[in-house]
Amino acid sequence: MLLELIGSGGMAEVYRARMKGQPFFARGENPKQFTREVAVKLILPHLSREDSFRELFSREAHMASLLDHPNIIGIQDYGTLDETDFIVMEYIHGMDLRGLLKAMPDEKPVSLGEAVHILYRISRGLEYAHGMGGPESPGGIIHRDLSPHNILISTEGEIKIADFGIARAVLSDATWTTAFKGKLSYMSPEQVEGKPLDHRSDIFSLGIIAHQILSGRHPFTRGSDGATLKAVQNADFPPISSAAGIPASILMLVESCLAVNPSSRPASAGAIAAELEPLQTPKSERILGQRVQSHSKTPREIPAVAPTSATITRPKRYGAPITITTLLAIAAMWVFLSPTGIEKPAISTPAPSAQSAGSNPPDAAAQSNPLPAQKADYITISTSPPGARIIVNGNVVGRSPARISLDKNRGPLIVSADLYGYRKSTFSLDRLEGDRTLRLTPLPRGEVRIGAIPWAQVFYRGNLKGYTPIVLEDLPVGKRTFVLKNGQMGVTREITVEVGEGKINTVNVDLAAN
């Protein structure tokens, strides 16, 4: 039964609801029923008139229902009832990131530790979804509508991504601008231009969220939709001030996510998570949960309405729908009539490590380490295998092969190459030596055996490895973090295990214990 309207927008209305049922193992004449709170999303009628929308909605909802990850909202059911498309999802006690940012109007809404926690968890959820393939989604599942509105934060500090699969169905409808009004500023340049999308579109949206959390302001919002679209297309954003105490590596990571050219962005959400993982602090999740608890509202129960007889009256919508072609034409006209460009907000001159990535550099390494206008000499650092994180004099410059500007790094260069599963290599490089190729040494390996009472799914580095009891082989030595999840109990537990060389470490977790 529906209890309370908790959110609405151009795409759907969301209700807090109560689901009743009986376990499959129930016996007797009057078996005991279970009661569970859920969230029910009702798609607005103007989006679901057409059979083509319903077919695509059903297919995308099915794909999204296959996602099972601690950082993605679980879909429990979907379908059509009384000509209304609906989705039943897990209910999160907390609030969305948009609400949290609104409740905290300060220039820096959350601490650096909380920001890293939020971005790390979003990255892990995206990494999992992008890695899910199938006949209908061979390149993984792309969100297409990643924004603070779709990032939910529980009172325990958990991060959940919502609405996978819905955006694609809505974007295919002619009334998409009504549904996405206010979200243009979170789209990628290729999405605004109507080009084919891949997972790197979500990475750009994640970069926007990161910039907003760290700076306290949206990087692209302007005075009109046309101006906002132009800013997004050109990746015209103010750099985050290095005076805020944010590490240069994070500033450069955000800038690389916001590159106009998708090939200049991080290769995957997993690569972003790998950058953020060492920067996490143990107490950030708890502190964030307390912050959410202080700002979120206590749910109130309103007169129950049975879903089978619910009649939801919505205001009539007048006027012809605006298509994406019309909106882009408006944006093009705005650009044509405004040759002087956008008036940029006044900002302080940033430190070299926080320069804007608004322009489109020739390659990913140049994007990670902006180059001065004058002539510069370079050294290229390569690794075998490639893809290692390259750190020069304490600053992350990108993934190997990485090009380093000597004009930006005067004096001796202290270079480190860091790649998962390999020993970190650090050396001093003379400016006159020229390009360098490093052969990385694999770390020794070990095994971990994980058991859980009663049972659990086991996730490692954002990927589902299987169900307990499970043996994970060929793990690099060192501290490794695993996530155990039992959906029936609603329990998610994170454990850290020390992997020893040639050793088998056995861990048993009682999920019922506090």
pLDDT digits (tens, 9 = 90+) for 288-323: 999 998 887 644 333 333 333 333 333 333 333 333
pLDDT band at 268 (very low <50, low <70, confident <90, very high): very high
Strands (DSSP E) found in 334-477: 378-384, 389-392, 395-399, 402-405, 413-418, 425-429, 436-439, 445-453, 457-460, 463-467, 470-476
CA 368, CA 402: separation in Å to the nearest integer?
9
Question: Length of the chain in residues, anyone?
Answer: 514
pLDDT band at 274 (very low <50, low <70, confident <90, very high): very high
CA 6, CA 113: separation in Å to the nearest integer?
29
CATH topology of domain 445-510: Immunoglobulin-like (2.60.40)
* Helix, strand, coil tally for the chain in percent (to 5): 30, 25, 45
Structure-block tokens of residue 230: 């132009």
pLDDT of residue 184: 76
Give mean pLDDT, residues 322-345: 36
Give mean pLDDT, residues 391-396: 82
Nearest Cα to Cα of residue 213 among 263, 274, 168, 276? 276
Alpha helices by DSSP H, listed for 50-111, are 51-65, 97-103
pLDDT of residue 50: 62
Q: Is the pLDDT of residue 416 over 50?
A: yes
What is the identity of the amino acid at 299? P
Q: Report CA-CA distances (Å) from 163 to 8, 133, 149.
A: 13, 18, 10
pLDDT digits (tens, 9 = 90+) for 425-470: 888 877 666 778 888 888 899 999 998 888 888 888 877 888 888 8
CA 83, CA 78: separation in Å to the nearest integer?
13
pLDDT of residue 117: 96
Q: Is the pLDDT of residue 360 over 90?
A: no
Q: In what order do the strands lie in the sheet with 159-161?
A: 94-96, 151-154, 159-161
pLDDT band at 28 (very low <50, low <70, confident <90, very high): low
pLDDT of residue 397: 78
State which of 24-33, 62-71, 348-357, 400-409 shows the largest mean pLDDT. Answer: 62-71
pLDDT of residue 256: 94
Q: Which residues contact 461 (CB under 8 A, 6 or more apart)?
A: 124, 127, 270, 273
pLDDT of residue 22: 53
CA 232, CA 223: separation in Å to the nearest integer?
13
pLDDT digits (tens, 9 = 90+) for 163-178: 876 655 444 443 344 3
Residue 126 backbone zone (phi > 0: left; psi -120 to 50: alpha; other: beta) = alpha
pLDDT of residue 225: 76
Which of residues 346 and 455 earns the better pLDDT score?
455
Residue spans per domain, the chain? 93-295, 370-439, 445-510
Q: Report CA-CA distances (Å) from 408 to 205, 349, 396, 405.
A: 29, 17, 13, 5
pLDDT of residue 342: 31
Which of residues 6 and 117 earns the better pLDDT score?
117
pLDDT of residue 468: 84
Give mean pLDDT, residues 121-133: 89
445-510 and 370-439 share a CATH fold: yes
Of 3.30.1490, 1.10.4160, 2.60.40, 2.170.130, the CATH number of 370-439 is 2.60.40
**Residue 173 annotated as catalytic:** no
pLDDT band at 108 (very low <50, low <70, confident <90, very high): low
Q: Is the pLDDT of residue 339 over 50?
A: no
Q: Which residues contact 353 (CB under 8 A, 6 or more apart)?
A: 242, 248, 251, 252, 395
Give mean pLDDT, residues 320-333: 37
pLDDT of residue 287: 92
CA 229, CA 335: separation in Å to the nearest integer?
10
pLDDT of residue 432: 60
Query: Mean pLDDT across the chain, nearest whole number?
Result: 75
Q: Check 85, 145, 163, 202 and give the catalytic one.
A: 145
Q: Which CATH architecture has domain 93-295?
A: Orthogonal Bundle (1.10)
pLDDT of residue 273: 94
CA 229, CA 204: separation in Å to the nearest integer?
14
Q: Is the pLDDT of residue 494 over 50?
A: yes
pLDDT digits (tens, 9 = 90+) for 188-219: 999 888 788 889 999 999 999 999 999 888 99
Which of residues 125 and 398 earns the better pLDDT score?
125
pTM of the model: 0.57
Give mean pLDDT, residues 488-511: 87
Residue 34, Cβ neighbours under 10 Å: how many? 10
Q: Are 22 and 49 in contact (CB under 8 A)?
A: no
Q: Are 75 and 60 in contact (CB under 8 A)?
A: no
CA 263, CA 339: separation in Å to the nearest integer?
28
H or E element, residue 165: none
pLDDT of residue 366: 36
Structure-block tokens of residue 40: 């029910």
CA 162, CA 96: separation in Å to the nearest integer?
10
CB-side neighbour CA atoms (13 Å) of 227: 13
